[in-house]
Copies of this chain bind each other. A is one copy, B any other.
């Protein structure tokens, strides 16, 4: 027995990535085996290598894809002239995007150290580009006098850590809706750097 009925590369490829994402988010890259991923897809381990050259690349592709999506979505955001509005918008975007993709986000922040140096550098560069957008907003606001920041870079990292932390506890069926959480976080972020 071999090829399954109705099987296609177009179907199995995404399913491999989806299974990898789910498992790695739950148990961590190092703790997940290729055989577990294969089992989740309903295939033997060897078949995975039709879709990825190796395990490391599978992880890298997940993170790379996520960062590309993040930056693409960010690029679509308008850029309000008012820094306060821009910050609120960024915060809301960040929360919304992260709540929609908890697994991808979790991996992007937790599995950096499991990337080989080259791959790490590539992802890190993308992450920097994202953070730069927030940092620019903060610097603009500071120049205009509506934000007070002893250190723009530090404030950037502090806000991102706070906003990203939402993925650690948010549950769709929990006490608060995504929209509520979004509003509260955006407000806290704004106040944290305001005059």
Contacts and interface: CB of A to CB of B under 8 A. Distances in A.
Interface in A67-121: 110, 113-114
Interface stretch (A13-21, A22-30, A45-53): A22-30
Interface in A137-178: 150-151, 154-155, 157-162, 164-166, 168-169, 176
Dominant secondary structure at the A interface: helix
Contacts of A162: 158-159, 161-162, 165, 192
B113 A27 contact: yes
A192 B185 CA distance: 9
A174 to B, nearest CB: 10
A160 B58 CA distance: 32
Interface residues of A, number: 36
Contact of A168 (B114, B157, B189): B157
Contacts of A28: 28, 30, 113-114
22 contacts: A26-B113, A28-B114, A30-B30, A31-B114, A110-B110, A150-B180, A151-B176, A151-B180, A151-B184, A154-B184, A157-B166, A157-B168, A158-B165, A158-B166, A158-B185, A159-B162, A161-B161, A161-B165, A161-B168, A188-B193, A191-B191, A192-B192
